[in-house]
Amino acid sequence: MGNFTFNETKIKGVYIIDVKTYGDNRGYFMETYKESDFKADGLDYSFVQDNQSSSRKGVLRGLHFQKTHPQAKLVRVLKGEVFDVAVDLRKGSDTYGQWVGVVLSEENKRQFMIPRGFAHGFVVMSDYAEFAYKCDELYHPEDEGGIMWNDPAIGIEWPDVGEIILSEKDKVHPSLAESKIEF
């Protein structure tokens, strides 16, 4: 038995990953990624970039994607707690426009595997959070896109965190219907 349990969600290709931790009175140890274990379960990615951000409660980042250089992402929380969301934008997918979300926290140590062809976003539920993720494609700033975080046609059930804090870019993203984006 490996150190990962891969749980496919209601959307094909999106996984919640539970990670085995080893702890004692000194703290804990865990593997966060092991290529052979991921490949053995059909998650065959070559990650080329790692990113990390910090945010305060109520910050909502998303829903983001890259238009011509889509990224698969393996996301996790180092400190605090977030609600993380993936929205299916794959052309011809039975679940196009549907979303799946998961609470990621430093306590549950879960990870979220989001394949290419999805919009991604999260909201910070704790007072502070540090968020890290691996990408299988480099970030291209000129290629970024987004859809509005509260598009009623998608209907994401965001947790109540009080005031939502958005970047100027995230305030003006179009709806999914207006963006007409499909991968």
CA distance 43 to 113: 9
Q: 88: which strand partners? A: 118
Residue 64 is among the residues annotated as catalytic for this protein = yes
Active site includes 133? yes
* Max Cα distance, the chain (Å): 54
User: Which one of 15, 45, 120, 133 is the catalytic residue?
Assistant: 133
- Residue of 64, 128, 139, 140 marked catalytic: 64
Query: Which residues are tagged catalytic?
Result: 64, 133
